[in-house]
A and B are shown apart, each in its own frame.
Chain A
Amino acid sequence: MSFENLFHAYWWLMFPIFGMFIALIGMFQAEGRSRKVMDLIKSYVDQGKEPPPELLKMARDPSDYDMSFSAPKPRNSNAWSFVVFLALAAGFSVGYWFVQGEDYAFAFAIVAVTMGVMALGALLLLILGRK
């Protein structure tokens, strides 16, 4: 199989592989950095000093690239999830509408429905979480 044929067949793989790569790097960086932050804060406290506010902020707020499930979520996280999933559901629905006659149209429908359910879930969490 030539490179051109391989690329034609598997070009889409670059997106999940890139996502996995970023997630791995973000995970390792976050873990190492949070350990250093805690050690530094501990050293400040051991010396009876107030840790700098930037250090405390770093301990409190995760990086945008922190993929850890235990990292505290920013405010409006569920609202953003709802918007993103709704956009994805709308996009794939439009895509399904355009390719209805094709053999692969079902793939668009599956993704549109899945994203729609995720959007609904995010909306429910947003509404119920406010109580």
Chain B
Amino acid sequence: MTEELFRDFWWLIFPVFGMVMALIGLVQDGASRDRILDNARRELERNR
């Protein structure tokens, strides 16, 4: 059953990989924007 499933849908590996990369990109983009916000907030607090 697993072998048949793999034989019919092996090509799905590629779009699924693309989806995983999109998710990782979303998380990383969010993390870098949060870092910019935290730095700006810390700078503001430091110079208050």
Pick from A25, A37, A40, A44: contact of B26, CB below 8 A: A25
* Interface residue from B22, B23, B25, B33 paired with A58 (Cβ < 8 Å): B33
Inter-subunit contact A15/B15 (CB<8 Å) = yes
Q: Mark B15-45, 1 if CB is under 8 A from A, else 0.
A: 1100100110110011001101101110110
Known contacts A4-B4, A11-B9, A22-B22, A37 near B37 by CB under 8 Å = yes
Of B5, B26, B44, which is within 8 A of A22 by CB? B26
Interface string of A35-67 (1 = CB under 8 A from B): 011001001100101011011001000011100
Given contacts A22-B23, A58-B36, contact A7 B29 (CB under 8 A): no
Q: Are A29 and B41 in contact (CB under 8 A)?
A: no
Given contacts A37-B37, A58-B36, is CB(A7)–CB(B5) below 8 Å?
A: yes
Closest to B4 in A: A4
Q: A63 and B25: CB pair below 8 A?
A: no
Instruction: Give how many A residues have a beta carbon under 8 Å from the other chain's beta carbons.
Output: 27
Contact of A4 among B5, B39, B41, B44 (CB under 8 A): B5
A33, B37: Cβ atoms closer than 8 Å: yes
**Neighbour of B33 across the interface among A11, A43, A63, CB < 8 A:** A63
- Per-residue contact bits, chain A 57-91, to B (CB 8 Å; 1 contact, 0 not): 01000011100000000000000000000000000
Task: Using CB atoms and an 8 Å cutoff, list the residues of chain B in contact with chain A.
Answer: 1, 4-5, 8-9, 12, 15-16, 19, 22-23, 25-26, 29-30, 33-34, 36-37, 39-41, 43-44, 47-48
